[in-house]
Structure 1
Amino acid sequence: MKFSHSIQFNAVPDWSSHYIAYSNLKKLIYQLEKTVHQASTGDGESRPLIQNEDPEVVFGRALDVELEKISSFYVLKEQELTDEVHELLREVGAFEDESGDTEATPRPGSSQILSGPVRPRSQSTRSRTSTDDGADDSDEDMADETAGLTRPRKRRTSSNKRRSGLINPMLASTTDMTASTDLTRSWRRDSMAFDDYAEQAALYSSGIVLKKKIINLYVQLCELKSYVQLNRTGFSKVLKKFDKIIDRQMRAKYLETYVDSNYPFRPETAAALDGEIMSIVKAYTSVVTNGDEEAAKRDLRSHLREHVVWERNTVWRELIGLERRAEAASLGHTLLGRDGDGQKMLSESGLLPATKISTPLGRFTLPTWLLSSTMLTLVLIISLFFALLIIPILEKPEQQNCLALLVLVSLLWATEAIPLFVTSLTIPFLCVVLNVFRDAKKPHERLGSKEATAAVFSAMWTPVIMLLLGGFTLAAALSKCSIDKRIATFVLSKAGTQPRTVLIANMGVAAVASMLISNVAAPVLCFGIIEPMLRNLPAGSDMSKAVIMGIALASNIGGMLSPIASPQNVVALGIMKPAPTWGQWFFIVIPVGVISIVLIWLLLLVTFQPGKGTTIVPIRPVRDSFTGIQWFVTIVTISTIGLWCASHQLESVFGDMGVIAIIPIVLFFGVGILTKEDFNNFPWTIIILAAGGLSLGKAVNSSGLLHTVTKAITVEVQDFSLYGILVVFSALILVIATFISHTVAALIILPLVYNVGKGLDEPHPNLLVMGGVLMCSAAMGLPTSGFPNMTAIMKEDPAGERYLQVKHFISRGVPSSILTLVVVITVGYGAMRIVGM
């Protein structure tokens, strides 16, 4: 992520104008670069006004302005927060004195109350709490706000010695089952005098207010500390860029002379701020955790983490981060090597890591990637490719070449020796060079290179690709306007606190989100929403494992619920003739998806048993009203899906679903809801992958190879019934898609399945393709079987331990895949026959 984006991403929204103007400084650097390199000729009016000034002087003045702005804001904010801290500490002292006057017998079940967190609000939220939310918000947050306020009290009169201290009845919902039972028993056993109850209620009210103040102050102090660090990094990076572009050495001198000596960046200033933070921690320790400072630090850090995640992160930003980390990790495994001392080495070019090897002829330095296992795999695949080109297997040369191309591409996709989209880009090149295309009018003649080029590139951009772009556009708009999160939190807020209900609700939300915004973004969204619940579950809780596993498996099932939910569905639509309508698709997949999710839910309940001793913190819905933009996005999305459902009836108007997909693209980008940055952030690698797969399918069909292979397979299965062939191919695709990408499995196998179905005595090619594509989504037996599983296996608890292990996916994912297979070949088969496939 660029630092200009990072500073926007990490900045406190209310302080955004007080951060270093990094983008403006970069623009100034580029202007100065033009000035430095501009020729001295020309009239004076055409030259920049800063022509005769030293770039360091001009840039230094701009930095001085930013430094003064930051310093002034920091001094004011620090004084404001310091005053609040001192006032808070006085209130804490008064609270301790008051609570020390009344001591009560420890309340039954009070230790369980400590688990509930308070979600800190941003400044803008805090400022409007009293006016916008009113009593409803305070009632809703009561359980969270009283978490940990279980300090023992002294009793003033001897008449109360026989009574146990009781908490406010409204707090009973925050305790677990044991605590609730003990509390109820205590309530029935004794009654409390009104004056004692009023006294304790007042103390609890004071404690609630104190706890909220402590958390809010802690968050603001940490934000102020981050403000200093972020701006210090900004000065360092912009000076580094200045030195690099203008060819100066200003960075070290300016940082040492001006930045580090300025008040916000001095070590003593940072130490004073850390001291204020520690005083807040001690106050929390005194008021909430009964002297346990480590518990106080953990609680406050969790509140701060929740504040950052909930208020600033978005699904697409998290997704982009995950993709970049995955790409970086892949690059590291492929290219980075270490020498004998464990130190990274660079080749003489300084671009690629290198390794020194000793041979009888001397020591040589070779790029590390030449010695990696990936390189060995690549060499073996290319060797097999050339062997298939040379060794005669088929009679016709175009089919022989196409077979070699098919094996090469399939192995590269399966092993990921090079990125998937790079493999896709090699397909049109090899199709033209190997002359695998034949003339449709003269099947025995091969197309020349010029004609083959037009044919292969026409196959790469079809209405299917436009449909994929339309799906990405709808997903981006729903996510950017937070409509997906609003719907998800609303549904989950109605799920209650019963573990089995919460589990099925999360699975349902994940499936529907996958249907609308793809099964890539859906698990990221759902994991972000359940973060508060996961944090409040005990370490190693079976409920946390069950809900994470449930979201992953339901997201895989959700990948089959709509034609745009996953790329393999779009590929299947491009293969089936005629393509099914959205209504037909829903008629088939909705029963299959619902029954599969229910069966997987029962499997998780039986294997994890998440209800034992589990207390769920309810998820609160977003209470803000729908904005005009959100209504607009919702109406356009529903209208587009409606047109897709009626695409066959509207064929005379729109021609194809791909044309309908242009409507949301034009509307959302045209009115500015989505920007060119959003367009650039589309997963173009998936689009290139799908385009390459379509061109491969056309090549295999045009060369005649598909017909030859289909004929051979048809002979082997000619004694099978249609149902038997469906079972065989569904099981085969399920196994293959478990080990390789779902999309890749669809690209390789579905064209073959279609042709096999077309060659049967009872031709039902669309039925076999539909069953096959559903099994692509149902392949979820391994952590690497699809993006939802990969996201789930990487989910970590606050201690940095992964919630799930590989054994959890094998023991739950494999049975889930088998259950879905059974549903597809029974319920799905019946639905497909009803719609006439």
Structure 2
Amino acid sequence: MKFSHSIQFNAVPDWSSHYIAYSNLKKLIYQLEKTVHQPGTADVETRPLLRNEDPDTVFSRALDVELEKVSSFYGVKEKELFDEVDDLLRDVGSFDENGPNEHDGPMRPVIQQPTTEQVKRARGPRSSQSAQSGHSLHSTEDGIEDSDDDDDDDEDETSALNKKRRSSINGGMARRRTVANFMHNSTDLTASTDYTRSARRHSTGFDDYAETAQMFTSGIMLKKRIVGLYVQLCELKSYVQLNKTGFRKVLKKFDKINDRDLRPKYMDSTVESAYPFLRDTISHIEENIEKMERAYAHVVTHGDESLARKDLRSHLREHVVWERNTVWRDLIGLERRAEAASLGQGLLGAQNDGMKVRLQGDDAPQAPTKKINTPIGRFTVPTWLFGSTMFTLLGIIAIFLLLLFIPIMERPEQQNCLALLIFVSLLWATEAIPLFVTSLLIPFLCVVLNVVRSDEAPYARLKSKEATAYVFAAMWTPVIMLLLGGFTIAAALSKCKIDKRIATFVLSKAGTRPRTVLIANMFVAAFASMLVSNVAAPVLCFGIIEPMLRNLPSDSNMSKAVIMGIALASNIGGMLSPIASPQNVVALGIMQPAPTWGEWFFVVIPVGIVSICLIWLLLLVTFQPGKGTNIVPIRPVREHFTALQWFVSAVCVTTIALWCASHALESTFGDMGVIAILPIVIFFGIGILTKEDFNNFPWTIIILAAGGLALGKAVKSSGLLHTVAERISGEVNGMDLYVVLLIFSSLTLVIATFISHTVAALIILPLVYDIGDAMEQPHPNLLVMAATLMCSAAMALPTSGFPNMTAIMKEDATGQRYLHVKHFISRGVPSSLLTLVVVVTLGYGAMRIIGM
């Protein structure tokens, strides 16, 4: 968990302004970093603070302020609580002398009139002190010098807590006033339970003497006070530990960002020697906690300290859960999603390359609605029913119905299949409904429209029951299993931060020359796309170059060039391995025989390297990033590879090696999809990946691919694909293979530029394969391979792939986007054309060499 979240997760709400201001110290670290690398560029407010001073001195001074705040607050709270412990122990002694003892049987509440001395003891001496605590100890009488600056500094960490706390205080006051109404009928347990629910306010005293007299029972009051003190002592111990961790972590970040070595010196000389963090201090707190456990055992559990400890911990848990329920629920949900390996999506429910990105939270926003009046009543309906999406959807349905009844094909199953194909293609292209929902329509329509025929003569149309089994068998194939295996490897590399370690190591060797840094980032992005998909690669690379972007001017051409370079290289990286993108997996399922990994690499590695180099030259010429650019070098991770990281790396390398040798091992494994089961079983079986990671897989992509496979199977089974391929083959009959390659590569590039890369592959690749197979000199695999590469090369628009969408949304510290649409049109269009030239020249030659 991020420590900025951990503070909110574990902080005592009433003390929130007295914890280390971790977020503000992080901001100071980044200001110091910029000042070191760009002297004189700090803003007007921070320049007097940072100029001409050593960063260690500036940061140590800020830490000293935080340490003084923590120490002062701790001193006040410790004295307050320890004094109450002494008072309580004296009262326990008096109770033992005057009240029931352990031989009298179970303790029973006896209502008695309290004496004046007992009332004073119950009300004080905490009443005045606790009032100060309830107001965050702003009074200087207790030695705390708080100002408005403290509150402002801690806004990032505590604002949410303070907002939630106000409602909980009001609720606690209301509950406290109702205690008297049920006190006579309550047991010890219910009384103490209600007490712990309002423990933050129990020390303010009772509202009046009558209420005190009604509530007062010696045993119950002692029990309540013991529980309250136990809770606060545990919170005080947690306060010390949390702040010590904060100092250690913020010093570690300072050393890492600014390449310093301040942490060992400052921790040893200053933090460790401060009073709250001394070993004797913690020991003293623990001694008082043990005193509360013994007192509770003496008063409540008849000497059973084990039961007393268990009971007190139960009270502590109940108190903390009640008091911080809202914060815990929000942060737990956030952290579970953020820490899960999510293939670059995390909280973003990105479907795939050209698909829109939607933020999914626990409390998803309600869809806008509109009320309409009808003859049968008033109804609330979604507003999208009256928008352009609804008219688009109605138009597509109308086209579908017309195609069902206007005779175009000779056979009815082909006529129905043509209507199905155009209907699904229009839905995918317009995204009138989510893409994966359209995929789920495919098996339904295939069965209802009876488009499936048997694979053997006389090719009779299958009945609905047989067609159902046929279509669903087409949806779950080894190709889908291979896709899952690729997602699993990507998730393991991402969760263990192996991908980031490798990328950081490579980029740290790039130096500070702009042109070298640019091409290094591009190759790292392409390599990351090859391993963890082109969805995750740009997210990973943008995180790595963040320190460099922070220290470049907001209008720097280097920033634009490196962000654009990462996006375009990530698109190229989508073609570099069979599992790099879904369209590659679809192509493997169509090509017969499927190429081995070695054959795939033989074609795509030269194409990818040359394409990236040409795009790099284009960016250098158009952006000229070297002018007046001062680049902060990226530092490698200092920690060594852990045993877990070595294990994950070994499993991934072994799996990829087995995939590369899958043809030689066909007699053992049968298909690459079977090999893909190995990393899934290993990583999920031993707990490296969890159920949360599995749920975070991009299942929309899997459903999309499965629907596309079913559509391809249906189009082929109905005979429509063969009929269309024959007609197109007649048009290209007599044309040279190279001309056909140019035609379909260009057509694929244009289509994939405007719709999702995967959708373009699902629609085009089956047709291209049949056309290639029907040629006089059949080369279906060559045409399919070229079309697949051109799907990844479509990157002319900001919406032409997920890397482009990620890049155009990247913003600087002021909230301004680095790139605009004009940058993509002026660089993306030439990049796509350059890649097309490389594919139809170098790629064509490589494919002919391996016999495609």
Q: Letter of the 1:18 partner, please give it.
A: N
Distance verdict in 2 for CA 1:494–1:373, change over 3 Å: same
2:315 is aligned with 1:385: no
2:798 match: 783
2:669 is aligned with 1:660: no
Does the aligned pair in 2 maintain the 1:736–1:745 contact within 8 Å?
A: yes
Distance verdict in 2 for CA 1:728–1:603, change over 3 Å: same
2:243 is aligned with 1:228: no
2:296 match: none
2:760 match: 745
1:209 match: 56
Report the Cα distance in structure 1 between the residues aligned to 2:202 and 2:751, rounded to whole angstroms: 63
Query: Which of 309, 312, 320 is the matching residue for 2:346?
Result: 320
Report the Cα distance in structure 2 between the residues aligned to 1:475 and 1:701, rounded to whole angstroms: 33
2:725 match: 710
**How far is the alpha carbon of 1:147 from its aligned partner?**
6.0
2:480 is aligned with 1:465: yes
Does the aligned pair in 2 maintain the 1:518–1:564 contact within 8 Å?
A: yes
Report the Cα distance in structure 2 between the residues aligned to 1:597 and 1:693, rounded to whole angstroms: 30
2:10 match: 18
- Secondary structure of 1:319's match? coil
1:614 match: 629
1:132-143 matches, within 5 Å, as none
Give the structure, 1 or 2, with the largest relative contact order (CA under 8 Å, sep 6 or more): 2
Does the aligned pair in 2 maintain the 1:315–1:525 contact within 8 Å?
A: no
2:654 match: 639
Report the Cα distance in structure 1 between the residues aligned to 2:580 and 2:170, rounded to whole angstroms: 44
**How far is the alpha carbon of 1:70 from its aligned partner?**
5.2
- Secondary structure of 1:377's match? helix
Report the Cα distance in structure 2 between the residues aligned to 1:119 and 1:314, rounded to whole angstroms: 28
**How far is the alpha carbon of 1:676 from its aligned partner?**
0.6
1:346 match: none
Q: Deviations over 1:687-715 (max 9, x none)?
A: 00000000000000000000000000000
Q: Letter of the 2:643 partner, please give it.
A: G
Distance verdict in 2 for CA 1:355–1:18, change over 3 Å: closer
**How far is the alpha carbon of 1:368 from its aligned partner?**
1.1
Does the aligned pair in 2 maintain the 1:117–1:147 contact within 8 Å?
A: no
Q: Letter of the 1:584 partner, please give it.
A: E
Does the aligned pair in 1 maintain the 2:483–2:585 contact within 8 Å?
A: yes
**How far is the alpha carbon of 1:236 from its aligned partner?**
8.7
Report the Cα distance in structure 2 between the residues aligned to 1:332 and 1:640, rounded to whole angstroms: 33
Does the aligned pair in 2 maintain the 1:315–1:524 contact within 8 Å?
A: no
Does the aligned pair in 2 maintain the 1:520–1:788 contact within 8 Å?
A: yes
Does the aligned pair in 1 maintain the 2:560–2:819 contact within 8 Å?
A: yes
Q: Deviations over 1:624-657 (max 9, x none)?
A: 0110100000001111111111100111111100
Q: Letter of the 1:322 partner, please give it.
A: L
Task: State the TM-score, normalizing by the size of structure 2.
Answer: 0.65
Does the aligned pair in 1 maintain the 2:342–2:693 contact within 8 Å?
A: no
Query: Which of 441, 445, 460 is the matching residue for 1:445?
Result: 460
Report the Cα distance in structure 2 between the residues aligned to 1:753 and 1:260, rounded to whole angstroms: 74
Report the Cα distance in structure 2 between the residues aligned to 1:710 and 1:811, rounded to whole angstroms: 36
1:404 match: 419
1:374 match: 389
2:781 match: 766
Does the aligned pair in 2 maintain the 1:355–1:365 contact within 8 Å?
A: yes
**How far is the alpha carbon of 1:323 from its aligned partner?**
2.5
1:474-553 matches, within 5 Å, as 474-553=489-568
**How far is the alpha carbon of 1:208 from its aligned partner?**
2.8
2:429 is aligned with 1:414: yes
Query: Which of 739, 743, 746 is the matching residue for 1:728?
Result: 743
- Secondary structure of 1:610's match? coil
**How far is the alpha carbon of 1:441 from its aligned partner?**
1.9
1:122-161 matches, within 5 Å, as 148=35
- Runs of 5+ consecutive residues of structure 1 not aligned to the other structure: 1-7, 20-68, 89-115, 121-143, 150-173, 180-202, 243-247, 265-287, 289-307, 334-349
Report the Cα distance in structure 1 between the residues aligned to 2:605 and 2:356, rounded to whole angstroms: 36
Does the aligned pair in 1 maintain the 2:533–2:581 contact within 8 Å?
A: yes
Q: Letter of the 2:56 partner, please give it.
A: V
Does the aligned pair in 1 maintain the 2:38–2:551 contact within 8 Å?
A: no
Report the Cα distance in structure 2 between the residues aligned to 1:621 and 1:635, rounded to whole angstroms: 22
Q: Letter of the 2:158 partner, please give it.
A: V
- Secondary structure of 1:322's match? coil
Does the aligned pair in 2 maintain the 1:560–1:589 contact within 8 Å?
A: yes
2:572 is aligned with 1:557: yes
Report the Cα distance in structure 2 between the residues aligned to 1:456 and 1:313, rounded to whole angstroms: 37
Distance verdict in 2 for CA 1:444–1:236, change over 3 Å: farther
Q: Deviations over 1:360-403 (max 9, x none)?
A: 99999653121110110000001100110011111100000000
Query: Which of 601, 610, 614 is the matching residue for 2:616?
Result: 601
Report the Cα distance in structure 1 between the residues aligned to 2:203 and 2:736, rounded to whole angstroms: 82
Distance verdict in 2 for CA 1:628–1:530, change over 3 Å: same
- Secondary structure of 2:625's match? coil
Query: Which of 586, 590, 596 is the matching residue for 1:571?
Result: 586
Q: What percentage of residue pairs aligned between the two structures are identical?
A: 65
Does the aligned pair in 2 maintain the 1:489–1:619 contact within 8 Å?
A: yes
2:699 is aligned with 1:695: no
Q: Letter of the 2:491 partner, please give it.
A: A
Q: Deviations over 1:439-475 (max 9, x none)?
A: 1123441000010000000000000000000000000
2:442 match: 427
Larger radius of gyration: 2
**How far is the alpha carbon of 1:209 from its aligned partner?**
2.0
Aligned length: 609
Report the Cα distance in structure 2 between the residues aligned to 1:786 and 1:757, rounded to whole angstroms: 27
Q: Deviations over 1:254-308 (max 9, x none)?
A: 99988799999xxxxxxxxxxxxxxxxxxxxxxx9xxxxxxxxxxxxxxxxxxx9
Distance verdict in 2 for CA 1:241–1:461, change over 3 Å: farther
Does the aligned pair in 2 maintain the 1:399–1:704 contact within 8 Å?
A: yes
Q: Letter of the 2:57 partner, please give it.
A: L
**How far is the alpha carbon of 1:539 from its aligned partner?**
1.8
Does the aligned pair in 1 maintain the 2:604–2:843 contact within 8 Å?
A: yes
1:324-335 matches, within 5 Å, as none
Report the Cα distance in structure 2 between the residues aligned to 1:262 and 1:391, rounded to whole angstroms: 83
Give the RMSD, CA atoms, in angstroms: 4.2
Does the aligned pair in 1 maintain the 2:526–2:569 contact within 8 Å?
A: yes
2:636 is aligned with 1:630: no
- Secondary structure of 1:355's match? strand
Does the aligned pair in 1 maintain the 2:341–2:492 contact within 8 Å?
A: no
**How far is the alpha carbon of 1:240 from its aligned partner?**
14
Does the aligned pair in 2 maintain the 1:236–1:255 contact within 8 Å?
A: no
Q: Letter of the 1:621 partner, please give it.
A: P
Distance verdict in 2 for CA 1:363–1:588, change over 3 Å: same
Distance verdict in 2 for CA 1:403–1:211, change over 3 Å: same
Query: Which of 692, 700, 709 is the matching residue for 1:685?
Result: 700
| Further displaced range: 455-464 or 435-444 | 435-444
**How far is the alpha carbon of 1:351 from its aligned partner?**
7.2
Q: Deviations over 1:328-360 (max 9, x none)?
A: x97999xxxxxxxxxxxxxxxx97533367999
Distance verdict in 2 for CA 1:689–1:731, change over 3 Å: same
1:800-811 matches, within 5 Å, as 800-811=815-826
Does the aligned pair in 2 maintain the 1:758–1:765 contact within 8 Å?
A: yes
Task: State the TM-score, normalizing by the size of structure 1.
Answer: 0.66
1:85-96 matches, within 5 Å, as none
Does the aligned pair in 2 maintain the 1:563–1:585 contact within 8 Å?
A: yes
Does the aligned pair in 1 maintain the 2:349–2:357 contact within 8 Å?
A: no
- Secondary structure of 2:370's match? strand
Distance verdict in 2 for CA 1:216–1:628, change over 3 Å: farther
Report the Cα distance in structure 2 between the residues aligned to 1:236 and 1:316, rounded to whole angstroms: 36
Does the aligned pair in 2 maintain the 1:745–1:776 contact within 8 Å?
A: yes
Distance verdict in 2 for CA 1:704–1:628, change over 3 Å: same
